[in-house]
Amino acid sequence: MKFATAMYGDNIFLCLVDEGQNAILPLNRTERVKSGHESFPESMIEFISAGEPYIEKVKQLLDWVQTLEEPSAYYIPLSDVTLLAPIPRPAKNIFCVGKNYAEHAIEMGSVQDIPKDPIVFTKSPTAVVGPNEVVLNHKEVTKELDYEGELAVIIGKSGRAINKEEALDYVFGYTIVNDITARDLQKKHKQFFIGKSLDTTCPMGPWIVHKSLIDNPNHLDIETKVNGEVRQSSNTTHFIFPVEEIISVLSAGMTLEPGDIIATGTPAGVGSGFNPSKFLQPGDKIEITIEKVGTLKSMIQDKE
């Protein structure tokens, strides 16, 4: 199941995405036809927090739709809706893991920069935008805007001191994040937060793939293209710290909550890793594809 937050007209609602039909199924609207009432939460965080009983409700709703003579009548074409970020406004900062691929650590420094323990920083919730949205070029504050394609983990239930062996039980699903970064601001401020948190620099989506569709998040192809040119091509098998370890480390003394987002790090091939550098320019189109998840597309604001 692929869960999304969509806008149709002035209405924002939760839906299921059917890529085969290139359409979405609105949960509450469909349930109203089925039973005369609406019981699904209005926001993705509320839905995730509601837990497994609501996953079962979705399965039952899908089964019911499939019994109808014209199930397609209950779907809306994807072309008629706007997909927002699956969690349009996270409840707290996005957790981000830095230098989680050895080759990326090396391209950003040297072999000595390969971390022994996870490097963790955060991005502001105000940086989040949805798929196919324009990313501001922020030319007034940066000349070095860079891309970072990443698998993101969505936490499904609260937990602290989570064992690695149980960590995936705390996952709701997976999405894609483009951890767009102002490299010059990183250098100027000697830390990551400002350079990582400019408005619109956290494209996310296009949906959340439920964990039932991904057996192993540590074995997924990941690719980033800029204007059709492949810049990043790797597999999450190359994680230094796999998803289970990241969750365990983050939760060691801090409670993870439903709807928390963890960006797991980016492979080699970022713009600043080239000689000369290939920083993002106005009008650039970025596509990040992760196996079993989908493709997240964004475009840098063109020149004014």
Helix (H) / strand (E) element for 207: namely strand 202-210
Give the bridge partners for 13, in sequence order.
6
Distances (CA, A) of 189 to 52, 122, 148, 151, 271: 43, 15, 20, 26, 20
Burial 19-58 (b: 16+ CB within 10 A, else e): eeeebbbbbbbbbeeeeeeeebbebbbebbbeeeebbeeb
Distance of CA 209 to the CA centre of its chain: 10
- CA 273-276-279 angle, to 5 degrees, is 65
Residue among 156, 146, 149 nearest 186 (CA): 146
Instruction: Work out the number of other CB atoms within 10 angstroms of the CB of residue 71.
Output: 16
Q: How far apart are CA 209 and CA 4, in angstroms?
A: 9
Q: How far apart are CA 299 and CA 130, in angstroms?
A: 11
* Domains detected in the chain: 2-83 (no CATH), 94-300 (3.90.850.10)
Q: How far apart are CA 203 and CA 282, in angstroms?
A: 16
Judge contact between 183 and 146, C-beta under 8 A. Answer: yes
Residue among 220, 183, 200, 223 nearest 132 (CA): 200
**Please, is 119 exposed, middle or buried when counting C-beta atoms within 10 Å of its C-beta (0-12, 13-18, 19+)?**
middle
pTM score of the predicted model: 0.96
Residue among 177, 181, 192 nearest 120 (CA): 192
Per-position pLDDT tens, the chain of length 304: 999 999 998 999 999 999 888 999 999 999 999 888 999 998 999 999 999 999 999 999 999 998 988 888 899 999 999 999 999 999 999 999 999 999 888 888 777 778 899 999 999 999 999 999 999 999 999 999 999 999 999 999 999 999 999 999 999 999 999 999 999 999 998 889 999 999 999 999 999 999 999 999 999 999 999 999 999 999 999 999 999 999 999 999 999 999 999 999 999 999 999 999 999 999 999 999 999 999 999 999 997 6
